[in-house]
Amino acid sequence: MPAPLDSDLLRHFLAVAKTGSVTRAGEMVGRTQSAVSMQIRRLEEVLGGPVFERLPRGVVLTPLGRELLPYAERIQSLLREAGEHLTSPRISGTVRVGIVDEYVESTVPTVLAEFNAAHPEVDVSVYCDFSHRQIAALAEDRIDLAVIHNWDGTGTGEAICHDPTVWVTSLAHRTHEIRPLPVGLFINSDWSRDYAARSLDRAGLPWRLAFEADNSAALEKALLSGLAIVPRARSTVPAGCRILGSGDGFLQIDNNDVFLLTNPRRASAAISAMAVVLRDAFRPAVAVRAEEGARG
C-alpha cells in the first residue's frame, strides 16, 4: 500500500512551486531553507520521483510535479474551507426570503444549497411572487428579505445586479416571424401593459395576445412550445431560445435592476448571512447567463 501524502508536505510543495525558490518558500512558510528541502525530499520519496528540477537560479516543476500541482491545490483549498466552516460562529434562527418567481429555477436552488451547506441550523422559508406583492409582504412583516424587479430606476433598496427585460423567441419554432406576433403576457399586469406591450407598439410591430398566465413558468412553456414570444429577464433566457434584439426589429422592454430590500423590523446574523449569499449569487451568475443568452 503506498504511503499517504501528508498535508504539510503538500504545503511546502505549493510554497516552492509558487515562488520557484526553496529559499523564498522558506520565508513564506516560516521555515529554514534546509527544512523546506527536507520536506521536498520526503515528498519525492513518497512519490518515487522528483517533483522539481534544480536550476542554477531556482527550480521548476517536473512532469510529476505538474501532475501533482492541481491535487495539492485542491487539498489545501478543502483544508482551508473545512477550517473556516468548523471554526466560524454557528448561526441559527429563521430567515424568510421573498424572490420574484422568474429566478426560481435559475438562482433559488443555488442560493438555498449554498446557504444550507454553510448554515444548516438556520430554518429558511421562501416566498415566490411578483415584486409588488413582495413589497407588501415586507411591509406586513411576513418576510425578512425581498429580491424584486425595479424597472424604471425610481425604487429604493440595494441594487444587486442589472438585468433588463427582453423579448425571447424559440429557436426551433421561430415564432417571432409570424404576423401578427403571438405574444405571451402576465394576466392583469400593469407592467405588461406599460412596458411589454408598449415596446411592441413603439417598434411598430403588429401583435396579438396569444397566451396569458400569472407566473413565469407557464409563460416559459408557451415560449418553448412556440405558442408565443414572451418577455424574460435577460439572464433567464432558457436553452433553445434567443433574445430578439434591434437587428430583429425589437426594442429592449425595460431597464430593470434587481433590488434587495430588507425588513427594518428584523435583524439577525442569519438574515445578514442570507443577504450576503443573495448578493454573491446574483452578481456573477447574472453576468454569465446574460452573455450565454445573447450568444444563443
By three-state DSSP, how is residue 110 classified? Answer: helix
Per-residue pLDDT of the chain (296 residues; tens, 9 = 90+): 566 788 889 999 999 998 899 988 888 888 899 999 999 999 999 999 999 998 888 899 999 999 999 999 889 888 877 776 666 677 889 999 999 988 888 788 888 888 888 888 999 999 998 898 999 999 999 999 999 999 876 667 899 889 999 999 999 999 999 999 999 999 988 999 999 999 999 999 999 999 999 999 999 999 999 999 999 999 899 999 999 999 999 999 999 999 999 999 999 999 999 999 898 888 644 443 444 444 33
Q: What is the DSSP letter of 87?
A: H
Copy the grid coordinates of residue 196.
411589454
By three-state DSSP, how is residue 210 classified? Answer: strand
CA pair distance 93, 270, nearest whole angstrom: 6
CA pair distance 195, 198, nearest whole angstrom: 5
Position 264: which residue type? P
